Structure 1
Amino acid sequence: MTTSQTEVSTFPHIRAIVRANGTGEVVIAGNSRPIDASDETALRREALTIVTDLAGVLSRPVRVYTEGPEGDGELVVHPDGNIDEVTAETKGRRRRAEKPVSTPSPPTIVHIDEEGTEDKESFAQEPSSAPEPPITSVPSSVPAPAPEVLSRRSLKETSFLISDPVVQPATQGFRGFLTRLGIRMTPSETELAERADIHAVSQHWPGPRTIAVVNRKGGANKTPTVAALAAVFARYGGGGVLAWDNNENQGTLGWRTEQGPHSSSVLDLLRDKEQLLSPLAHNALLAHYVHHQTEDKYDVLRSDENDEGDHEISADEVDSVHSVAAKYYRMIVMDSGNTARAANWRAMITHTNQLVIPTTTMEDRAEAAKLTLQTLAARDEHSAKLAENAVVIISQWKPEDTDEARRIAAGFEPLVRRVVTVPYDQALKAGRIRHAALKPATQRAWLAAAAAVAQGL
């Protein structure tokens, strides 16, 4: 099909190159995107897909110069995938169209008639045989215009700093690629959603906020959830986040996170709580008691890991530790044991601002999550509000558990404020948990989960 469209822009300059050896590339404004395919037909199809995507992003046809074993050519590719061939005839018309005869535009005279109205006339009119009338001034009988009345505004109501927010250009995907080429593109809806989640988790609230991660069943992904949420909030919010292992005796948060240059636990902090609560105490003192995560920017307060000890944290001790943590941190993410009747578990709930219920796609963990919600809903008014406003985070236990995750999510959606699913990721199964080691899809899911939590704070 030949085209009569001769006004298609040549910017950006696009070349689609297909080689007989099964390789090719699409070069956009000097930047190459290599393509490989099994045969020449597949190469052309893949090149066309890339160019069509570009036309769709630009919302207009684009011109493509093709090079291949059969010779060179020129095409116009439309956003809907239609292709027009540019022939020698249309090229000639385009070249002639690109060289218009420049004709100076005639000047314009503005006359003011007796009634004070304007009449515009061009010198390009047919010449008149009548003599040109003399130029006269405006008659004195024309009334002078009434003085303009200005309404004054208060200085307090005026600002030169108020303006509409500027949307930053796209940085991701094909739109981001074009932005880097110098073609400013607006971000996609997917990128805008991610930016909104980042904004949500980057907030600082007026006063410390406490998040409790609870499920009455062991192996429900409580500790990985604590580490993942703490990392997201600290990375985007600039630190000030404490992950606290509030087990009755020995928990696993210390095993799954980085250890500092000491072996301190919550018992050491309790021993020195008076010093830490002193008005003269400073933030650097906390380094003796918590374990800083150098990559993920949060601190960990470990539970007692002494195998020979039998100390169980009491409710009063939870209150004391929380008073210290609230002095030094803007956010406290608390891991928990499996006993909802334990004194330290109940004390944790009294300090909680946002409840998080983690579970995996194993049925017994999901059932335990539901029973945990039921327990809190029936306990007291504060606990019931936490249960109603809870966020459930479902982590896939196996890669093939996508449908099961959806099924469990549908069961929780009527019960809580938000439900978020996290895909399977081997990096969460065992060993130290590091945000950068997670797959991009997993990182995005935990960002969405943290944003859902943040909306309840």
Structure 2
Amino acid sequence: MGTPPNEVLAFPNIRAIVRDNGTAEVIVAGNSRVVPAGDTVQELRTNALALIVGEAQTLQRPVRVRIEDPDGQGELIVHPDNKIESVSYDPNQSRRRAEAPETTPKTVAPAIIETVPVPATEPVVTPVEPAPVAVAETAATVPAPATPEPQTALVAEEAAPTRRSLKETSFLVSAPVLEPATQGWRGTLTRFGFRMDPSAEELSEREDVRTVSQHWPGPRTIAVVNRKGGANKTPTVVMLSAILARYSGAATVAWDNNESQGTLGWRTEKGAHDRSVLDLIDSSTELLSPSTNAAEIAKFVHHQTSDKFDVLRSDENEEGDHEVTAEEVDIAHQVLTRYYRLVVMDSGNTARAANWRRMIDHTNQLVVPVTAIEDRAEAARLTLQTLESRGGHDAELARNAVVIVSESTDAKRSMSGDALKRAKDEAQRIADGFEPFVRAVVRIPYDPALVNGPIRYEALQPATRRAWLTAAAAVATGF
């Protein structure tokens, strides 16, 4: 039998500290040991546990370890044979959700418990004494039990039992099975063989993944709009397209519906051709023919090899002598919804343009991106106000809109602590201002991978990817 958990020595004092900046250390008796780097916080936890197992092997006995990381803190017992016991775990208060009760008690029993067999014994039967006859003195004060009625007639009159229909029962289990934790220390312990329930944060992420992974009947069109340039429209189009395409597997196209020349083609991967929306419109008769193969659309779009969606570029004619008309928007939309289940439309800055207004007519879900700068926020408000004032379908889109507030990049470049705080406070102020007027508001942290050059989902920081997943789930909820 191994050492009972309460007898494991607390010497030497061992702490494992994992930070959300990608570093970790194991401190043994005051001496710090750097944990090998990992791509994720989860890998850092695993590497830290490997160092602690080595310490236990050196001492040839189990050791107590105090763990601290962004998710919480607790205590483990680590054995030389890689056996891990969870003694306690307390999530950080800031990471708990008020609406979701904590699924793991603050102190949990050790995960490994040895049981002692109990020898079988003969059951002891205590004879039942007959009830004593009431004496005369108590008969006057204790009511006599009612005399039972004869049961023979009742049994005879009782209706024969009826059988339930087989249609009224099933052997299938309808409740979903909760999969064990995969993140945090709980996920680490699960990989070591101890099944741990997921945290509230992990459950929330799983729900967002489920939402964006669903398929819906018929095609859906998302319009990303803000009449002010530099409001993050193009990065929003790319990120929503990438997440929805990756998780749902639905054929997805990002369409640059700028009235002249847009920038979506500059921020995405270019294919082996130079075709744009005008080429697609010119070939619309062929593309809409029942005899045309679905693969023919590849001649006109630019596939994003890692993020699994296609891009339909705007006209890049250097003379810029063509503006897309409302009729051309109708034609292009008809072609795209034949080949794709999801169309995400980038837009120009003119809400009065014919192609902008016709885009709104085809839209199922409106998304309004805004960087946390006053003029961008004001332009977003005016865009929503314009749609609301038109009434009908336009007003319904405005009321059901999703506003995505991104932190300003200007403050991040200075790396000043005060500037960072001001940027976060301004983003929160703008988000709070939109909250009463739209269906959902999502904040996105600053990420240098979104500032310049081609945008790739995998290049983003984990916190940024998580925020964009929340935004995509808010958008998909409107489908």
Scaled by the length of structure 1, what TM-score is found? 0.75
1:48 equivalenced with 2:66 (yes/no): yes
Q: Structure 1 residues 15, 194: closer, same or farther in 2, change over 3 A?
A: farther
Partner SS state of residue 50, structure 2? strand
The within-5 A match list for 1:273-352 is 273-352=284-363
Q: Which residue of 1 aligns with 2:228?
A: 217
Kindly indicate whether the alpha-carbon contact (under 8 Å) linking 2:226 and 2:380 is maintained by their aligned counterparts in 1. Answer: yes
Query: Which ranges of structure 2 fall in alignment gaps of 5 or more residues?
Result: 15-27, 36-43, 54-63, 92-113, 131-151, 413-419
Partner SS state of residue 259, structure 2? coil
1:413 equivalenced with 2:431 (yes/no): no
Kindly indicate whether the alpha-carbon contact (under 8 Å) linking 2:65 and 2:77 is maintained by their aligned counterparts in 1. Answer: no
Aligned with residue 105 of structure 1, among 121, 138, 151: 121
Deviations 1:263-283 (A, max 9, x none): 110011001101111111221
Q: How far apart in 2 are the matches of 1:76 and 1:397? A: 42
Q: Which residue of 2 aligns with 1:439?
A: 461
The within-5 A match list for 1:170-181 is 170-181=181-192
Kindly indicate whether the alpha-carbon contact (under 8 Å) linking 1:15 and 1:65 is maintained by their aligned counterparts in 2. Answer: no
Q: How far apart in 2 are the matches of 1:99 and 1:171? A: 28
The within-5 A match list for 1:422-433 is 422-433=444-455
Superposition deviation, residue 99 in structure 1: 11
Superposition deviation, residue 240 in structure 1: 0.6
1:246 equivalenced with 2:257 (yes/no): yes
Q: Structure 1 residues 100, 324: closer, same or farther in 2, change over 3 A?
A: closer
Q: How far apart in 2 are the matches of 1:414 and 1:266? A: 37
Kindly indicate whether the alpha-carbon contact (under 8 Å) linking 1:55 and 1:77 is maintained by their aligned counterparts in 2. Answer: no
Superposition deviation, residue 104 in structure 1: 4.1
Q: Structure 1 residues 77, 15: closer, same or farther in 2, change over 3 A?
A: farther
Superposition deviation, residue 362 in structure 1: 1.4
1:32 equivalenced with 2:50 (yes/no): yes
The within-5 A match list for 1:263-282 is 263-282=274-293
Q: Structure 1 residues 101, 372: closer, same or farther in 2, change over 3 A?
A: closer
Q: Please tell me the residue identity of whatever aligns with 2:122.
A: P
Q: How far apart in 1 are the matches of 2:6 and 2:379? A: 62
Q: Which residue of 1 aligns with 2:193?
A: 182
Aligned with residue 227 of structure 1, among 221, 232, 238: 238
Kindly indicate whether the alpha-carbon contact (under 8 Å) linking 1:197 and 1:447 is maintained by their aligned counterparts in 2. Answer: yes
Q: Structure 1 residues 248, 10: closer, same or farther in 2, change over 3 A?
A: farther
Percent identity for Structure 1 against Structure 2: 58
Q: How far apart in 1 are the matches of 2:196 and 2:395? A: 47
1:166 equivalenced with 2:177 (yes/no): yes
Q: How far apart in 2 are the matches of 1:291 and 1:388? A: 33
Superposition deviation, residue 49 in structure 1: 3.8
Q: Structure 1 residues 76, 283: closer, same or farther in 2, change over 3 A?
A: closer
Q: Which residue of 2 aligns with 1:387?
A: 398
1:454 equivalenced with 2:476 (yes/no): yes
Q: How far apart in 1 are the matches of 2:90 and 2:454? A: 48
Kindly indicate whether the alpha-carbon contact (under 8 Å) linking 2:52 and 2:78 is maintained by their aligned counterparts in 1. Answer: no
Q: Please tell me the residue identity of whatever aligns with 2:187.
A: G
- Between stretches 153-162 and 104-113, larger displacement belongs to 104-113
Kindly indicate whether the alpha-carbon contact (under 8 Å) linking 1:421 and 1:445 is maintained by their aligned counterparts in 2. Answer: yes
Superposition deviation, residue 64 in structure 1: 6.7
Partner SS state of residue 272, structure 2? coil
Number of residues of Structure 1 aligned to a counterpart in Structure 2: 382
1:361 equivalenced with 2:372 (yes/no): yes
Q: How far apart in 1 are the matches of 2:86 and 2:256? A: 62
Q: How far apart in 2 are the matches of 1:163 and 1:347? A: 45
Superposition deviation, residue 112 in structure 1: 12
Q: How far apart in 1 are the matches of 2:280 and 2:90? A: 65
Superposition deviation, residue 156 in structure 1: 2.7
Partner SS state of residue 344, structure 2? strand
Q: Structure 1 residues 108, 64: closer, same or farther in 2, change over 3 A?
A: same
Q: Which residue of 2 aligns with 1:136?
A: none
Partner SS state of residue 121, structure 2? coil
Q: Please tell me the residue identity of whatever aligns with 1:48.
A: R
Partner SS state of residue 274, structure 1? helix
Q: Please tell me the residue identity of whatever aligns with 1:422.
A: I
Superposition deviation, residue 152 in structure 1: 2.2
Which of these two proteins has the greater Rg computed from alpha carbons?
Answer: 1
Superposition deviation, residue 396 in structure 1: 1.0
Q: How far apart in 1 are the matches of 2:270 and 2:282? A: 20
Deviations 1:362-411 (A, max 9, x none): 11011000000000000131100000000000111233211110010011
Scaled by the length of structure 2, what TM-score is found? 0.72
Superposition deviation, residue 103 in structure 1: 4.9
Superposition deviation, residue 183 in structure 1: 0.4
Superposition deviation, residue 55 in structure 1: 8.6
Q: Which residue of 1 aligns with 2:424?
A: 402
Partner SS state of residue 335, structure 1? strand
Q: Please tell me the residue identity of whatever aligns with 1:259.
A: K
Q: Please tell me the residue identity of whatever aligns with 2:403.
A: V
Partner SS state of residue 266, structure 2? coil
Runs of 4+, deviation exceeding 3 Å: 6-11, 14-17, 19-28, 53-56, 61-66, 75-81, 98-104, 107-114, 145-151
Partner SS state of residue 212, structure 1? strand
Which is richer in helix? 2
What's the RMSD between the two structures over aligned residues?
Answer: 3.7
Q: Please tell me the residue identity of whatever aligns with 2:252.
A: V
Q: How far apart in 1 are the matches of 2:115 and 2:193? A: 27
Kindly indicate whether the alpha-carbon contact (under 8 Å) linking 1:243 and 1:300 is maintained by their aligned counterparts in 2. Answer: yes
Superposition deviation, residue 253 in structure 1: 0.3
Partner SS state of residue 345, structure 2? strand
Q: Structure 1 residues 394, 65: closer, same or farther in 2, change over 3 A?
A: same
Q: Structure 1 residues 79, 420: closer, same or farther in 2, change over 3 A?
A: closer
Q: How far apart in 1 are the matches of 2:231 and 2:469? A: 20
